[in-house]
């Protein structure tokens, strides 16, 4: 996921990556599939003034990173509620 090109784009302000001080970590004991988390992250950032993340479905960060971003930009997301259960999704069913 992280390449020299990606790092340079973040440093030059063309891609979004929150600063350490901005991260708000929330628990998600039963996370859904990675593509569903990415879809939620994209929805949370849509219409926002933030820059793009710079990822696509072939080059995704891990679930922990995606959940950290989601909890930072959308702390009210259902994934962080006590009673959240991931949907019963078959592999390949989630579209980005």
- pLDDT tens per residue, range 59-71: 778 999 999 999 9
Please tell me the predicted confidence (pLDDT) of residue 40. Answer: 93
Please state the length of the chain: 96
- Are 54 and 6 in contact by the 8 Å Cβ rule? The answer is yes
Q: Residue 54: left if φ>0, alpha if ψ -120 to 50, beta else—which one?
A: left
What CA–CA distances, in Å, run from 70 to 5, 61, 77, 86?
A: 23, 12, 8, 15
Q: Domain ranges in the chain?
A: 4-80
pLDDT band of 77, cuts 50, 70, 90: very high
Q: Residue 57: left if φ>0, alpha if ψ -120 to 50, beta else—which one?
A: alpha
- pLDDT tens per residue, range 21-42: 999 999 999 999 988 998 999 8
Residue 13, pLDDT above cutoff 60: yes
Please tell me the predicted confidence (pLDDT) of residue 54. Answer: 83
């Amino acid at each position: 996921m992280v390449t020299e090109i990606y790092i340079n784009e973040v440093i030059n302000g063309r891609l979004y990556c929150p600063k350490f001080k901005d991260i708000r970590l929330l628990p998600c004991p039963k996370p859904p599939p990675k593509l569903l988390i990415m879809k939620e992250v994209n929805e949370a950032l849509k219409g926002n003034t933030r820059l793009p993340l710079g990822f696509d479905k072939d080059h995704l960060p891990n679930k922990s990173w995606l959940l950290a971003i989601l909890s930072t930009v959308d702390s009210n997301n259902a994934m962080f509620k006590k009673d959240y259960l991931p949907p019963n999704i078959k592999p390949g069913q989630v579209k980005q």
